[in-house]
Amino acid sequence: MPEIKTQDFTAASTAAILDPKLRRALDRVAEGFHVARLDRIEEVTQDVWDGWKDQAREIKVHTIENLDYYLELLDKNVTAAGGQLHFAKDADEANEIVAHIVRTRNIKIVTKSKSMVSEELGLNPVLEALGVEVWETDLGEYIIQLAEETPSHLVAPALHKSKEDVAALFTEKLGIPYDEDIYHMAATARTILRDKFMEADLGISGANFVVAETGTLVIITNEGNGRLCTSAPRVHIGITGMEKVIPSMQDLSAFLRLLPRSATGQRITSYVSMTTGPRRSDDEDGPEEFHLILVDNGRSKMLADPALREALYCIRCGACLNICPVYSRIGGHAYGWVYPGPIGAVVSPMLVGLPKAKELPQASSLCGACREVCPVNIDIPKMLLDLRKKTAESPDSSLRSAPEIERVLARLYAKLMSSPKLLKMGVKFGRFAQKLERMTPVFSPLTTDGKWIRNAHIPILSRWTKSRDLPTLPKQTFHELWEKELSPDDS
Amino acid sequence: MPGTPKAEFLQSVREALGRENVPPIEAYPRLAETPSELEQQVAQMRQHIEDNLPALLDKLAKMAALGGWRVHRASRPEDVIEYIETLARDSGTANVVRSNQDVFNQIPLDATLTNLGLTVTTVLRDETTTRESLREEIRQSGIGITGADYALAETGSVIVLPRKGLARLISVVPPVHIALVRAEDLLETLDDLFLLRRLEYHQQGGEMGSYLNFITGPSRTADIEMTIVEGVHGPKEVHMIILG
Three-state DSSP class for residue A326: coil
Residue B24 lies in a domain: no
Q: How many domains does chain B have?
A: 1
Residue B80 belongs to domain spanning: 45-243
> Residues of A numbered 211-230 whose beta carbons fall under 8 angstroms of chain B's beta carbons: which are they?
213-216, 222-225, 227-228, 230
**Burial of A82 from C-beta contacts in 10 A (0-12 / 13-18 / 19+):** middle
Q: Is the peptide bond before A325 cis (omega within 30 degrees of 0)?
A: no
Other beta carbons within 10 Å of A35:
12
So what's the pLDDT on residue A445?
A: 62
CB A265 within 8 A of CB A35: yes
So what's the pLDDT on residue B24?
A: 85
So what's the pLDDT on residue A441?
A: 58
CB B148 within 8 A of CB B185: yes
Q: Quick check: A280 and B165 CB within 8 A?
A: no
So what's the pLDDT on residue A444?
A: 56
pLDDT in tens, B167-179: 999 999 999 999 9
pLDDT in tens, A405-426: 878 888 899 999 999 899 888 8
Three-state DSSP class for residue A392: helix
What per-residue string of b and e applies to A293-318 under the rule 16 or more CB within 10 Å gives b?
bbbbbbbbebbebeebbbbbbbbbbb
Residue B40 lies in a domain: no
Alpha-carbon distance A354 to A396, whole Å?
12
Query: Rounded mean pLDDT of chain B?
Result: 95
Phi, psi dihedrals of residue A85, rounded to the nearest 5°: -105, 135
Q: How far is B219 from chain A (nearest CA, A)?
A: 5
Domains belonging to chain A, first-starting first, are 6-300 (3.40.50.10420), 409-490 (no CATH)
* A194 CB within 8 Å of a chain B CB: yes
Residue B20 lies in a domain: no
**Residue B198 scores a pLDDT above 80:** yes
pLDDT in tens, A360-403: 999 999 999 999 999 999 999 999 999 999 988 888 877 776 77
Residues in A touching B16 (Cβ below 8 Å): 300-301, 303-304
Structure ipTM: 0.96
Positive or negative, the CA dihedral B132, B133, B134, B140 is positive
Q: Quick check: A249 and B194 CB within 8 A?
A: yes
Question: Of A68, A234, A282, A299, which to mutate for an interface test with B (greatest number of B Cβ within 10 Å)?
Answer: A68
Residues in A touching B240 (Cβ below 8 Å): none
Taking CA atoms, what residue in A is nearest to B193?
A250
Residue B232 lies in a domain: yes
Residue B18 lies in a domain: no
Q: What is the CATH number of the domain that holds B111?
A: 3.40.50.10420
Strands (E), chain B: 70-74, 95-98, 119-122, 143-147, 150-152, 157-160, 176-182, 186-187, 211-215, 220-221, 229-230, 237-243
Higher-confidence residue of A429 and A171: namely A171
% of residues, chain B, pLDDT over 90: 86
Q: How far is A226 from chain B (nearest CA, A)?
A: 9
Q: How far is A360 from chain B (nearest CA, A)?
A: 24
% of residues, chain A, pLDDT over 70: 96
Residue B29 lies in a domain: no
Residue B162 lies in a domain: yes
Q: Quick check: B208 and A276 CB within 8 A?
A: yes
- What is the DSSP-derived secondary structure letter of residue A32? I
pLDDT in tens, A94-107: 999 999 999 999 99
% of residues, chain B, pLDDT over 70: 100
Question: Residue A453's pLDDT band (boundaries 50, 70, 90)?
Answer: confident
Phi, psi dihedrals of residue A229, rounded to the nearest 5°: -65, -30
Of B169, B69, B84, B226, the residue nearest A31 (C-alpha):
B226
Taking CA atoms, what residue in A is nearest to B167?
A284
CA distances from B220 to A224, A253, A333 (A): 8, 23, 25
As a residue count, chain B comes to 244
